[in-house]
Amino acid sequence: MRQRAIKIGLTSVVLVAAFAGLLYSTLSEGTEYYKHVDEVMADPKAWYGTRLQLHGFVVEDSILRKRDSLDYKFEISNNGAVVPARYTGVVPDTFKNGSEVVLKGRLGRTGSRWTPTA
């Protein structure tokens, strides 16, 4: 009887540890902060390399597209703070000067690569 209780206890500990490890690895990879441009640019060094969803507005006349490609460079701003962004791919129909955007990606030191989301 005692041996059976030890087996059940050991199995439970292993299952709980496996579940906790799986939960931790899943959440740590999928975690993204939702921030506004001015919040991030108040201390950009703290956010370098961090996965973010960044909210702001496309700066007027900042959208540049390479000819015959889907490479875009633009800036987004909020409350006076500005972040440069790069994107490669088909942009949503609502992407234009002054439009509200939420970008998913990482903040880089020299330029950021983002994925616009609806």
pLDDT in tens, 30-61: 677 889 999 988 888 888 878 888 999 999 99
Cα separation of 110 and 88, whole Å? 17
Query: pTM of whole model > 0.75?
Result: no
d(CA 46, CA 33): 12
